[in-house]
Amino acid sequence: MVTTPLLSIGVEPLRVDGLVSAVSGEGDGAVVSFLGLVRNHNAGRRVRYLEYEAYEPLALKVFERIAAEARERWPGVRFGLQHRIGRLEIGEASVAIAAASAHRADAFAACRYAIERVKQIAPIWKHEFFEGGDVWIEGATADPEDRRARAEAERVACA
């Protein structure tokens, strides 16, 4: 049997079904999964493809941190997070998250929280290649100790 790592980063295509079964147990009444996809447009540009890069050892530690934060906020949630790097074509999945819990509210909230935190603090970058050029996308200044950012992720997760 192949075991699915719950937290990972790599060039292999993402399989959300493996992640869903890896986090789900007999005591769970809900599992919520999320796939982030490469879309064909961004900020008025026609996107051809994306290249993701990461500072991998730190990214894995950040995934562990996000998992620990989610467990602290929603005890009992089982949680998996995988991010892809390298060249991704339109429609491919860049990130897969699954959160399983006894009840659906916690599973939905933990899943949403995780993707918000990935966008805030994971040392990962997308290089967008569009028709007519390319650009590095620069979003949030990463600061895992920023309490306001964490509170904002919780607020969005529980909205």
Binding residues for other proteins, per CB under 8 A? 36, 52-55, 57-59, 61, 83, 94-95, 115, 118-127, 136-145
How far apart are the C-alpha atoms of 6 and 107, rounded to whole Å?
16
Nearer to other proteins, 10 or 123 (CB): 123
Q: Judged by CB, which is closer to other proteins: 56, or 102? A: 56
Closest CB 26 distance from other proteins, rounded Å: 31
User: Cα–Cα distance between 151 and 132 in angstroms, integer?
Assistant: 39
Least distance between other proteins and beta carbon 63 (Å): 10
Residue 25 CB, shortest distance to other proteins, in Å, is 27
User: Residue 96 pairs with which residues in a beta bridge?
Assistant: 35, 82
Structure tokens belonging to residue 66: 């996000």
CB of 2 to other proteins, least distance (A): 25
d(CA 154, CA 159): 8
Shorter beta-carbon distance to other proteins: residue 109 or 118 = 118
> Tokens representing 120?
């805030």
3-state secondary structure of 44: coil
Query: In whole angstroms, what is the distance from residue 103 CA to residue 95 CA?
Result: 24
> By C-beta, is 3 or 141 nearer to other proteins?
141
